[in-house]
Amino acid sequence: MNIFRLAGDMTHLASVLVLLLKIHTIKSCAGVSLKTQELYALVFATRYLDIFTDFISLYNTVMKLIFLGSSFSIVWYIRRHKIVRRSYDKDQDTFRHYFLVLPCLLLALVIHEKFTFREVMWAFSLYLEAVAILPQLVLLQRTRNIDNLTGQYVFLLGAYRALYILNWIYRYFTEPHFVHWITWIAGLVQTLLYADFFYYYFESWKNNVKLQLPA
């Protein structure tokens, strides 16, 4: 474990807690894309298949349970909770996320570290996570007023993967044989997708104006 990875995990944890807090306290999911939340639940479900078979550390297992639990409960809140679901804007959250799942699955069947179920699922979860934010970014461009919590959620989600890139660089130089091309490329693509959001997020923060993404 290194400081970049710990900071990345804590930033990732903060992003899901910010979102859960928003939905649980103000009972609203306005501006939140259910599609992105469903994709993230699928990312964790396919990435943490080994949660009960390979014990790496208490930290690793606890964090996996938190990410699985939070992502599925956010999906439950937006789909089932009688008050929260009313604030879900399904007419705006129209990104066909199934068009993201299939190409990621096909790519995982072609490019993986080993042709085993778990490794293909691992590669699938990496490719899917790289594009999972797209429905949310599209929704933010459509809904003019982005509330602070949703903006913070997206920012933290992007920042966590950027910190992971520093972690991979650190591990590459400190650990022999630490080479994970698939993870590195997927993580880089994922972070680049946030680039324009980061730009507008910092602009709004610097000029102290409401965050607005160009349509």
Partner 1 sequence: KHGFQYHDEL
Q: Which residues bind partner 1 (CB under 8 A)?
A: 5, 9, 12, 50, 54, 56, 60, 63-64, 67, 113-114, 122, 164, 167, 177, 179-180, 183
Q: Whole-number minimum distance, CB 1 to partner 1, in Å? A: 9
Q: Single out the residue of 95, 91, 83, 92 nearest to residue 23, CA to CA.
A: 83
Q: Whole-number minimum distance, CB 9 to partner 1, in Å? A: 6
**Of 184 and 198, which has the nearer Cβ to partner 1?**
184
Two structure tokens written together for 177: 């044989």
Q: Whole-number minimum distance, CB 178 to partner 1, in Å? A: 8
Q: Single out the residue of 89, 93, 51 nearest to residue 69, CA to CA.
A: 51
Tell me how far apart the alpha carbons of residues 75 and 158 are, in angstroms, rounded to a whole number.
20
Q: Whole-number minimum distance, CB 179 to partner 1, in Å? A: 8
Helix and strand numbers, DSSP H then E, in the chain: 9, 0
**Of 167 and 191, which has the nearer Cβ to partner 1?**
167
Tell me how far apart the alpha carbons of residues 144 and 109 are, in angstroms, rounded to a whole number.
39
Q: Whole-number minimum distance, CB 188 to partner 1, in Å? A: 15
Cα 9 from chain centroid? 12
**Of 35 and 112, which has the nearer Cβ to partner 1?**
112
**Of 5 and 27, which has the nearer Cβ to partner 1?**
5
CA distances from 43 to 141, 172, 182 (A): 24, 25, 15
CA distances from 159 to 5, 90, 165 (A): 12, 27, 10
**Of 98 and 173, which has the nearer Cβ to partner 1?**
173
